[in-house]
Amino acid sequence: MQLSVRRSSLRHVPLDLDFVAHLTRESARFADAIGEAPPDARVPTCPGWTADDLLWHLAEVQWFWGTIVRENVTGAGAEELKPPRPPDRAGLREFYRRSSRDLSEVLAATAPQTPAWTWSDDHTVGFIRRRQAHEALIHRIDAELTAGVPAAPLDPSLSADGVDEALRVVYGGLPAWGTFTPDTAQTVRLRATDTGGSWFLTLGRFTGTDPDDGTRCDEPDAHAAARDPGTEAASEVAGAAADLDCWLWHRPAAGPVRRSGDRRVLDRYEAAIAPGIN
pLDDT for 26-78, tens place per residue?
999 999 999 999 999 999 999 999 999 999 999 999 999 999 999 999 999 99
| pLDDT in the model for residue 5 | 46
Q: What is the pLDDT of residue 12?
A: 52
Helix axes 125-147, 89-108, angle to 10 degrees: 150
Tens of pLDDT, residue by residue over 206-244, are 999 999 899 999 999 999 999 999 999 999 999 999 999
Does 129 score more than 80 pLDDT? yes
pLDDT at 3: 38
At residue 6, the pLDDT reads 46
Task: Grade residue 172 by pLDDT with cuts at 50, 70 and 90.
Answer: confident
The DSSP bridge pattern shows strands 178-192 and 235-239 to be parallel
**5 in any annotated domain:** no
Q: Structural domain tally of the chain?
A: 2
Same domain for 175 and 251? yes
Round to whole Å and give the CA distance between 96 and 41: 18
Q: Which of 18, 62, 9, 269 is nearest to 161 (CA)?
A: 18
**In whole numbers, what is the pLDDT of the chain averaged over residues?**
93
Annotate the chain with three-state secondary structure.
CCCCCCCCCCCCCCCCCCHHHHHHHHHHHHHHHHCCCCCCCECCCCCCCEHHHHHHHHHHHHHHHHHHHHHCCCHHHHHHHCCCCCCCHHHHHHHHHHHHHHHHHHHHCCCCCCECCCCCCCCEHHHHHHHHHHHHHHHHHHHHHHHCCCCCCCCHHHHHHHHHHHHHHHCCCCCCCEEEEEEEEEEEEEEECCCCCEEEEEEEEEEEECCCCCCEEEEEEEEECCCCCCCCCCEEEEECHHHHHHHHCCCCCCCCCEEEECHHHHHHHHHHHCCCCC
**Which is nearest to 49 in space by CA: 1, 84, 95, 98?**
1
Per-residue pLDDT, averaged over 153-170, amounts to 96
Claim to verify: residue 174 and residue 265 sit in the same structural domain: yes
Q: Which residues contact 82 (CB under 8 A, 6 or more apart)?
A: 60, 63, 64, 67
Same domain for 145 and 24, yes or no, is yes
Final residue in a domain of this structure, among 99, 120, 149: 149
For residues 52 and 38, give the distance between their C-alpha atoms in angstroms, rounded to a whole number: 8
Residues 6+ apart with CB under 8 A from 262: 234, 235
What is the domain-level CATH number for residue 70? 1.20.120.450
Residues 54 and 112 placed together within one structural domain of the fold: yes
Top-confidence residue, 80 or 175: 80
Structural domain containing residue 115: 19-149
The one-letter amino acid at 54: L
Rounded CA-CA distance 49/86 in Å is 16
Residue 13 lies in a domain: no
- Assign residue 171 the CATH number of its domain: 3.30.1050
pLDDT band at 173 (very low <50, low <70, confident <90, very high): confident
**Residue whose C-alpha is closest to residue 79's, from 114, 133, 119, 20:** 119
10 Å CB burial of residue 48 (0-12, 13-18, 19+) is exposed
- Predicted local confidence at residue 175, as pLDDT: 86
> Average pLDDT in the 133-153 region?
97
119 vs 86: CA distance, rounded Å: 27
State which of 94, 123, 149 marks the end of a domain. 149
99-117 per-position pLDDT tens digit: 999 999 999 999 999 999 9
